[in-house]
A and B are shown apart, each in its own frame.
Chain A
Amino acid sequence: MTATAPAGPIDGTRRTVSGLERASLKPAGIVLAIILGLVFGWIVLDAVIPTPGTEVAAGDTVTLANQARFVPASGWTIEDDKSNFYRISNSGVYFAIQTGPTQIDAVDVLNNAQNALRQSIPDAVYSSPSTFTTSRGLTGVQSTLTSAQLTGRLVVVVSSGVYVFANALGPPVSMNALGGDIDAMFESIEILR
C-alpha cells in the first residue's frame, strides 16, 4: 500500500561506482541522454538538411533600384529579389527592405508601415519612433514591435526624395539568436545619391 522508502545516505552496504551509488547512475544517465539527444539532435539535423533555395553569399551587396544599397547577412535564404524590394529569411525571421520615391518624411513612412502591419499583427505594441543612425552616418527613424508571438524592428531612412524601409520580423527566439546579423543589416543601409 505504501511506497518503499528510497535510499538514504550511503550506509556502507550500498554498492557504489567511483563513489556514486550504482542505482543512481541509470536514471541520471537517462536524463543526460535526453538532454544531449535533444540538443545535438537538432544541431545534427540542422547540419544535415540542406538550405532550400539560394543563400546569400559572403560579401554580397544588394542595390535596390539604383537608389539604395545594403549588405545582407550571409547564409540567409533569398525569398524575393526584385528591383526595389528584397527579402531574405533565416529560421523563421524575415528581413525585408524596399525603396522608392516619397514626398513624406521618415516618421510618416514609419506610421504607414505600422498601420499596414496592424492588419496582420493586431496585438503588436510599437515603440515610439526614435532616431536611427546607420554605420555611414545616415539618420532615419526606427521602431520596434512586440507581440506575444513575434518581435520585430522597423527602420525608415528618407533622403533626397527617396525612402528606404527595412524591417525584421520573426519569433523572439530566432530574432534573439540572429540579433547580430539583423543589427548589421540595418546599419549597412545607404542611399545612393
Chain B
Amino acid sequence: MKNIIPWILIGSCVALTATDEAFAQNASRNPTSDTIPSSLMTFFVTSEPIGNGGNLGGLAGADAHCQSLAAAVGAGGKTWRAYLSTQARPGQPAVNARDRIGKGPWFHSTARIPDYLNRRLDRPIIQSQIHGDTLEEAQRGSNLTKEFALTEKGRLANGIGDPLPTRHDLLTGSQPDGRAFTDNADHTCNNWTSNNKGSAQVGHSDRVGNGNMSWNSSHATTGCSQEDLISWGGVGLFYCFAVD
C-alpha cells in the first residue's frame, strides 16, 4: 500500500505534464490568455454559495451574485441571471426560471474559441433540450452533464461518489419544465427571502440522486437554513446563465 501511493502521484504528474506539452504544442495556434475562455462562457454553476440558506436577497440578490462571480473571472461584460423561479403572490405574478435566461445556446467555462470558420468547437446546452419540451427531447436528454456543469472557475461541483461535502443540490425553485410551481406550498424559500422556514426545490448538477436525473427539479429540501441545505447534499449553489 505504502509503495503504491508515490507511483500513483508520479503517474498523475506525468499525465499532467503530457497534457501541458500537448497544449504547448498547440499554443502557437491558440490564444494563450485564460481570459479568453471566460469571455466565451455563458453558463456556470456558482463556485460558492451566498451562504445565507435560502435567503438570496430575492432574484436581484441572486443575479448580483452571478454577476460578481462572473466579473471575478473576466466575464462581467455579460448580463447574468440566476436560474430561479419565484411563485405568484397577491399582486405579483410568478416568474419562471426558463423565461429569465435568454435564448441560448449556452457554453460553459472551458469553452474554446471558434475555429477559423467561426464554428464552435464545443457542444452547448439548448433551451428546449434542457427542459425536454418535446417527448423526444425529454427522452434523449441534453448536454447538461456533470462535466458540463462547471463553475465559473472551470471546476466540477462535488457530486455523488466525489469527496464530501456533496454540493450537487442546486437551488432552482422550478418544475422540470423550468416554470414556477403553481400550488400553495413553498418551493422557493419564500421567493428566496427565507433562511429558516419553507422549502426549496433543487436539481442535481451531477444528474445523480433521488432516483432521477433531473438537473433542475429533483426534490425539495426541508427547511431553508444553511444547515438544512447542507443536510440534503447542497450548500446553496445555483445555475447562472448569460442572457446576451
A complexed with B: no
B interface list, Cβ under 8 A from A: none
Where the two chains meet, the residues of A that have a C-beta atom closer than 8 Å to any C-beta of B are none
